[in-house]
Structure 1
Amino acid sequence: MDQRISFLTLAVRDLAESRKFYLDGLGWEPCTDVPGNVLMFEVGDKLILSLWDVDAFTEEVGQAPGGGVPPITIAHNLATPDGVDRVLEQARVAGAAQVTDAVQRDWGGYSGYFVDPDGFRWEICHNPSELGQKVLP
């Protein structure tokens, strides 16, 4: 797995309030804006900050063992679905605490997750959209 982060996702309780803060308050311009679901911002070279409605986040990621889902994922975007499967297997072999197999997602991509030793969830994904291509090396 390359040493890089493609997407940083934060689960937010009130997306409308987050939208007001980032767009109206800070003057940020979203690269993706799906009201009630997600806001995404280009925050660096090949790095996207995603603010995702906490209910949608929990529906896809699931509940964390022993309590709520940690309200963050770190995403590693790859050029192909096969690449996703290879990295998930690499994480499994490396001893990831939990690995979920990748599946085709409603948003058009293919992704699965693993949990690192500190409980942070990594999404390993193939995002075929123009935005997904933008964060590839």
Structure 2
Amino acid sequence: MDQRLSFLTLAVADVGRSRDFYVDGLGWRPIFEAEGEVIMLPVAERLILSLWSVAGFTAEIGQAPASGVAPITLSHNVATEAEADAVLAEAAALGAEVRPAVRREWGGYSGYFSDPDGFRWEVAVNPGETGDFVLPPT
């Protein structure tokens, strides 16, 4: 199996509300939408963030998603601390719960915001090798 991720699917309570946040609020551009069911957003070369209704997710997977804080974070790396602060301020202006960025013991600078369904996004300046990596050839 190739070492790659093609889709990251999140089950969301209200696709329209998620669209308002990601598309109308953050300015992301969808490549596919089925109103009320799913919205697909390209987030990297060959990686799609799919925001899928809980009902559709449950029907296909066969089990409803767990409730509460998901044990996952998504990360959006930026080049400067000012950019990190600006992204967090933008998320706050959209009503997101925000944890302000601070300098981290690993050498970076990061903070967090929650999307409308509580998925946590880290906004980070990552000075290490993982900040701008390329997969090694197979």
Q: Give me the TM-score of the superposition, normalised by structure 2.
A: 0.48
Q: TM-score, normalised by structure 1?
A: 0.48
Q: Which has the higher contact order (CA 8 A, sep 6+)?
A: 1
Structure with higher Rg: it is 2
